[in-house]
């Protein structure tokens, strides 16, 4: 078995692209058993709970010219794996902490991967505010997760300290960017990889 921990953020476009590439690679190696778990990382843990205006935030963080150039590179990489980034639909850059809590809660249902797909599509393609608990509850219902239990967990801050501690454990390891992949607890790969690169690595590990 190959064990993969993926450290990512739900508003990270390269994490979305990287997930597509990882899924493609895993699909090409059906003879290998995989265990993939998604771990929390906030690119901006200081983000207000209500989020901020995305356009102003991106331009303030990167500068207008750099932001446009990066957007083009991301769109091109997205096109290669069937992702349509609809930046014009995105008004808010959200606080992603609650989305990470939801991903954690989906693990016992074996729906982390499917949930993450829903979150990425909701944000990057539909422009939804995935920091809004109502949106997160709607997504959880679509995945047949227990909406009432999840609503209660949001209200009572269940797992908040655990998620915070897990995120900071990765920062303590020196991880500063996402996506980051920890394979078999020893190989660390930073940045979105092509499916070919993943397949080559899987074959080397399995040989």
pLDDT tens per residue, range 71-90:
999 999 999 999 999 999 99
What's the confidence (pLDDT) of residue 58?
93
What's the confidence (pLDDT) of residue 157?
85
What's the confidence (pLDDT) of residue 16?
98
Measured at the CA of 118, the angle between CA 169 and CA 11, to 5 degrees, comes to 50
* Cβ–Cβ < 8 Å for 111, 71: no
What's the confidence (pLDDT) of residue 31?
96
Task: State mean pLDDT over 175-190.
Answer: 97
Task: Quote the DSSP letter at residue 5.
Answer: E
What's the confidence (pLDDT) of residue 89?
97
2: left (phi over 0), alpha (psi -120 to 50) or beta: beta
Residue 201 binned pLDDT confidence (cut-offs 50, 70, 90): very high
What's the confidence (pLDDT) of residue 150?
93
**pLDDT tens digit string along 54-75?**
999 999 999 989 989 999 999 9
**pLDDT tens digit string along 127-148?**
999 999 999 999 999 999 998 9
Concatenated DSSP letters of 146-165: -HHHHHHHHHHTTTHHHHHH
Residue 188: is its pLDDT beyond 90?
yes
**pLDDT tens digit string along 98-120?**
999 999 999 999 999 999 999 99
Give the residue numbers spanning the domain of 156.
2-206
- Segments of the chain assigned E as strands: 2-8, 34-40, 52-53, 92-93, 180-183, 187-190
* Cβ–Cβ < 8 Å for 104, 158: no
- By CB neighbour count within 10 A (0-12 exposed, 13-18 middle, 19+ buried), where does 157 fall? exposed
CATH number at 98 reads 3.40.30.10
Residue 124: is its pLDDT beyond 90?
yes
Task: State mean pLDDT over 148-157.
Answer: 90
Residue 28 binned pLDDT confidence (cut-offs 50, 70, 90): very high
Q: How far is 38 from 7, CA to CA, in rounded Å?
A: 6
Considering its fold, how many domains does the chain have in total?
1
What's the confidence (pLDDT) of residue 158?
82
Nearest CA to 126 out of 89, 77, 75, 71 is that of 89
Q: How far is 184 from 35, CA to CA, in rounded Å?
A: 10
pTM: 0.96
């Amino acid at each position: 078995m190959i064990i993969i921990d993926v450290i990512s953020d739900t508003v990270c476009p390269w994490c979305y692209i990287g997930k597509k590439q990882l899924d493609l690679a895993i699909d090409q190696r059906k003879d290998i058993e995989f265990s993939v778990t998604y771990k929390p990382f906030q690119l901006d843990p200081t983000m207000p709970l209500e989020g901020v205006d995305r356009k102003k935030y991106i331009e303030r963080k990167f500068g207008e010219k750099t932001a446009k150039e990066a957007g083009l590179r991301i769109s091109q990489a997205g096109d290669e794996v069937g992702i349509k980034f609809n930046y014009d639909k995105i008004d808010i850059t959200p606080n992603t902490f609650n989305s990470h809590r939801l991903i954690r809660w989906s693990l016992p249902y074996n729906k982390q991967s499917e949930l993450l797909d829903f979150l990425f599509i909701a944000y990057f393609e539909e422009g939804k505010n995935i920091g809004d608990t109502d949106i997160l509850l709607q997504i959880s219902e679509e995945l047949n997760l227990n909406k009432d239990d999840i609503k209660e967990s949001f209200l009572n801050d269940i797992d908040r300290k655990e998620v915070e501690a897990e995120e900071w454990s990765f920062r303590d390891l020196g991880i500063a960017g996402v996506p980051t992949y920890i394979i078999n607890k020893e190989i660390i790969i930073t940045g979105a990889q092509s499916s070919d690169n993943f397949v080559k690595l899987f074959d080397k590990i399995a040989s």
